[in-house]
Every structure is written in C-alpha cells, then in structure tokens.
Amino acid sequence: MSEINNMKQTNRNNLKIIRGGQFDKDEAPKEFVEAYATQSRLMGASWVYVRWNVLNSPDAGSLVQFFYIDYDQYGIEDFHNFWDPRREVVKNMEHTTVDCMGSDRIYLDEMQFLKLIYSYHHITLLRGYTLAENHSSYEFILDEYEKPTLRAKHDVQQNFSTKDEVNPKKKLNVLETYGEEIFRRISLEVELLLCAPIRTVNSLLTYMLMRFISKDTLIAEQYIKFSEVDNLDIFPDLTIGTLYRNEISELTELKNSKTSSEDNSDIRRFSCRSLLLCKNTYYISNIHFKLDGLTILDVQPVDLIRISSCEAALILSGTEFTSIYKFNSDHLPLPWLSNEFPLANFENSAINGFMYMIFKPDNNHVDRDIFLLNEDMYGSMFVSYENQIILSSRHPDFLNMLRNNLEGVFNRMGLTPYLSHVQSFKLFSNDGSIYDFIDSDFTNFIEFLDLSDDNKQ
C-alpha cells in the first residue's frame, strides 16, 4: 500500500498549471456528470461507464471512461479513456462492450461509482494483478474518494472494529487481517444493485453455483437463510473456477417427505449436476439444494469427480452450423466489422484474422434446465487474412440470422458485389470449429475442414 501512496504523491507534485490558471487536461479538475454499470454482477463481471466535465482546461471539455470489472478474479481488467469523444465513438464502444453483457444498465450516483472503482482498483493490487497500462488516467478517482468527506476510512470504520482504526499505525494490520474484504465491504451495497433480479428457481441455482465456484460468499449469502446453511465454501478443495454446464432436476422422490414444519411452506429440493473448470482441470459436481421459494435453506455437496479434458469435450460437443463467404479485401480494410455489424459483438485479434463473438441481448440461458456457458451467444464470426468470413452457430435459425446481418452490412456499404457465399456445412464439434481453426496452423478454413472430413455431415 505504501507504493500506492508514493505514486499518488508523485502525481500531486507533478501537477501542471498552464495559461493563466488553466490546467493540462490530465490534471484539470473533473466534474461528475453520469455513470452506469451493467446489471451483470451475478455473472461475475460488469462494464462501467462514466462521463466527466473537464474544468479549466483548453485541451478538452469532457472525458468518458469505460472500466471492465472482473469481480471473481482480475478486478479492473480493462480500461478505456476518451477525451471529447464524438457520440458515435461512445456508441461504438458501448456496442462492442456494454451491449455484450446481456443486461440492463443501472445508473449510479457519484458516490456509488467512486466506491466501485476505488474498491476494485485496490482489489486488483491485493490479488497480485497488474493495473491497466493507462491506469494513471483514472487515479484522480481514487483521490476524489479519499477526500475528507468521502474517504474510505469512514467505510472501514462502519464495517470493522474501530479498535483497529483508532491507532493509524494499526491500519496495516487491518489490511493484513481482512485483506480484500475491507474493499469488498465498501462496494457491497453498489454490487447488490448490479445483481439482476432472480425470478426463477433455475436462475437462482445457476447463479449461486457460479458464485460458489468463484468463492464469492458476500454475494451468495444474500440469497441464503443462515440459520440453515453453515458453510458456503462448498468446493473447499478447488480454486476459483468457471461453471460451463449445469443440469437442474427436481428431486421428486422427496416431494412427499416434508416434515410437519414444512407442510405449509414452498419447500422443494433440487439436484444440480455441473461441469466445472478449475486451473485447467475439469470436474463433475453434484450438489443438492433445499429451497423455500427463492430462498436457499440448505446446500449439500454430494460428489465431486475429476474428469479428463476429452470427457469434458464430449459433454460440451454438439452440432454446429457453419457458412463460409469470400470477400474482396481491396475494398474492405481489416478490421472493420465490429462497429458495422448490427448485433452486439466483441472482437479479438488472432494470428490468422479477427474473431467476433456475437451476443444475445439477454442472459435468459440461466433460466433453462440445462445451462451452457456460451448460450449467451448467437454464434461466432471469423474474418481471415485469406479473405474468408466464417459464420458459425449451434442453431440453424441463428446462423441464418447471422448470414442476413452480414449480407445486410455489405448491402448498406454498397459492397454486395465483393461478397460471395462459398459453402455451408453441418459439423459435429467440441469447442467449435472456428476455435479449432484459430488454434491450428492453417490460414484457409476450407483447407482446415478438408483435413477434418469426419466432422462434416
């Protein structure tokens, strides 16, 4: 923590005042305008947006910032800074980040926003991760929160024994004792605002399994009756992991075995058989839940079995529908599709092209009896340096929708003559043929498939 304080003092000492009391834009005072965060806390991540007015600076009048918070692992994992951005720049950024989360935007007041960023900045450091390369661009937020009227010490005193805070020399002991929980307590109220409403048993069970495997007890405990549940660490032998699949079934044989105290209540019992990934190792878990409506009364781990990656691949395998297009790159600089494609999408660069994950506008897949992690996506699109565009989806209707959207983009841009459909396939794959293609040494998708003829149907 001393390194953080030294860094702040250095920034203050370097304050630049220019042209008759005006400031360089980085050092100029900022006035909060608005902020929102995606209501995707239960999924384990949120995008956060904020707009500031820049005061007394000839260089800029406004500042827009985007933060990607990975609550479960990295903390503030990504950060973007825009000075005086045009409206279309902000919209494009939202289209390729915020809209991919499949959740509502919850507007935050200044204090709520400051708490969230302040907490997860420090959590990132406490977890041992590197801050975003341009993190100095948001450090004024930390200073803003630590002003006498807003300082973090007030929140620490509310949530932990004042005995440790009376003597300032003991503050380090508080951090050593409680670690990141200090900062989690500061932002907890805000994080709860960002939890999507739970209206079904399936979404409750799936979300809670996500929180359990992420060791996220502060959120999970909000949905649990503590008089009944003693221990929330139902995976004590596992590190933080990911829920890939969850199959929910009601334990019907127990429906008629209620105790006398349960006769007039909505007591039901469910089994969740799940596929988990922790540190490159797959597990099958079986957990029994006892519910009263949408409140968890009991959680009982039944078994946890380690399986091979091949076994996990078979569980996740299925039919894949794929279409290949050819385009003339002389009329189409790369990358280009991310902003033009009408459906929310997230772009990643690869050795042989650009990958686009195309997302649905909601997270309704958590309501299903069988939850699959990637079911929040319509499908994927890959634009290769070999002038190929590959569309892929698990559902034929979604593939047709992706094709219509792609052809519509070329039509709107007046580039229809430069796009041609080559071929469509029905494949059987594990992780998805596009991902296998990216991991291969091939640059041409058709040549890659020719080597895998057994997958074609």
User: What is the per-residue pLDDT across 115-159, written as a single tens digit (0 to 9) for each?
Assistant: 999 999 999 999 999 999 899 999 999 999 987 655 544 454 445
Q: Does residue 194 lie in a domain region? A: no
Element at 408 (helix H, strand E): helix 396-412
**What kind and span of H or E run contains 337?**
helix 337-340
Instruction: Report yes or no on 196 lying in a domain.
Output: no
**Which residues, including other chains, have CB under 8 Å from residue 181's CB and lie 6 or more apart?**
218
For residue 292, which amino acid is it?
Answer: D
Whether the per-residue pLDDT at 378 is higher than 90: the answer is yes
On whether residue 321 sits in a domain, the answer given is yes
**Could you tell me which residues are beta bridge partners of residue 135?**
none
DSSP code for 327:
E
Q: Let me know if residue 195 belongs to a domain.
A: no
pTM, to two decimals: 0.86
pLDDT of 453 higher than 80 = no
More confident residue, 266 or 259: 266
In terms of domains, do 150 and 20 share one? yes
Could you give the count of Cα atoms lying within 13 Å of 189 in the half-sphere of its Cβ? 11
pLDDT-based confidence at 228, cuts 50/70/90? Answer: low
- Domain of 292, CATH number, reads 3.10.450
Do 174 and 289 have their domain in common?
A: no
Name the helix (H) or strand (E) containing 9.
helix 2-13
Q: Of 312, 343, 378, which residue is a domain's last?
A: 312
* Nearest in space to 219 (alpha carbons), one of 211, 230, 210: 211
Rounded mean pLDDT of the chain?
85
Pair of tokens at residue 256: 């008629």
Indicate the pLDDT class of residue 241, thresholds 50, 70 and 90.
very high
Spatial separation of the C-alpha atoms in residues 113 and 181, rounded to whole Å: 18
Distance CA 325, CA 389 (A): 5
Separation of CA 225 from chain center = 27
When pLDDT is cut at 50, 70 and 90, the band that residue 414 belongs to is confident
**Is residue 433 domain-shared with residue 349, that is, in the same domain?**
yes
Question: Across the strands, what pairs with 83?
Answer: 63
Q: Are 34 and 164 members of one domain?
A: yes
Mean pLDDT, rounded, for 10-38: 72
Residues 125, 274, single domain; the answer is no
55-111 pLDDT tens trace:
988 888 999 999 999 999 999 999 999 999 999 999 999 999 999 999 999 999 999
Contact 402, 389 (CB under 8 A): no
Between 31 and 7, name the one with better pLDDT: 31
Look at residue 213 and tell me if it is in a domain. yes
Which residues, other chains included, contact 65 with Cβ-Cβ below 8 Å and sequence gap of 6+?
Answer: 49, 50, 52, 79, 80, 81, 82, 137, 138
Q: Which domain holds residue 381?
A: 317-455
C-alpha distances out from residue 262 to 255, 259, 287, 289, 293, Å: 11, 5, 21, 15, 12
Report which of residues 257 and 15 the model is more confident about.
Answer: 257
Of 293, 312, 331, the position where a domain reaches its end is 312
Question: Which pLDDT belongs to residue 195?
Answer: 98
- Asked which of 96-100, 241-245, 349-353 is least confident by mean pLDDT, the reply is 349-353
At 448 the pLDDT is: 85
Residues 51 and 162 in one domain: yes
225 and 171 assigned to the same domain: no
* pLDDT, mean of residues 237-263: 80
Residue 101: what pLDDT? 98
Shared domain for 37 and 148, answered yes or no, is: yes
pLDDT of residue 5: 47
Residue 233 has pLDDT above 90, yes or no: no
Domain boundary among 189, 214, 235: 189
Q: Quick one: pLDDT band at residue 211, thresholds 50, 70, 90?
A: very high
Lowest mean pLDDT across 97-106, 238-247, 448-457: 448-457
In a domain? residue 150? yes
Number of Cβ within a 10 Å radius of residue 415: 14
- The total of structural domains in the chain comes to 3
Round the CA-based radius of gyration of the chain to a whole number and report it. 25
Tokens of 111: 């204090």
The verdict on 128 and 101 lying in the same domain is yes
Query: Do 256 and 273 share a domain, yes or no?
Result: yes
The answer to whether residues 177 and 229 belong to one domain is no
Short-list 34, 72, 358, 356, CA closest to 210:
72
**Confidence check: pLDDT of 455 > 70:** no
- The residues, ordered by sequence, that sit 6+ positions from 403 with a Cβ below 8 Å of its Cβ are 323, 391, 421
Distance CA 438, CA 349 (A): 10
> pLDDT tens across 166-183, in order?
333 334 444 555 678 889
DSSP secondary structure letter of residue 189: H
* Residue at 15 is within a domain: yes
pLDDT surpassing 90 at residue 248: yes
Please give the Cα distance from 124 to 76 (Å, whole number): 6
Q: Based on the fold, state whether residues 403 and 438 are members of the same structural domain.
A: yes
Distance CA 49, CA 75 (A): 16
On the question of pLDDT at 161 being above 50, the answer is no
Whether 23 maps to a domain, the answer reads yes
Of the listed ranges 35-44, 379-388, 392-401, 446-455, the least confidently predicted one is 446-455
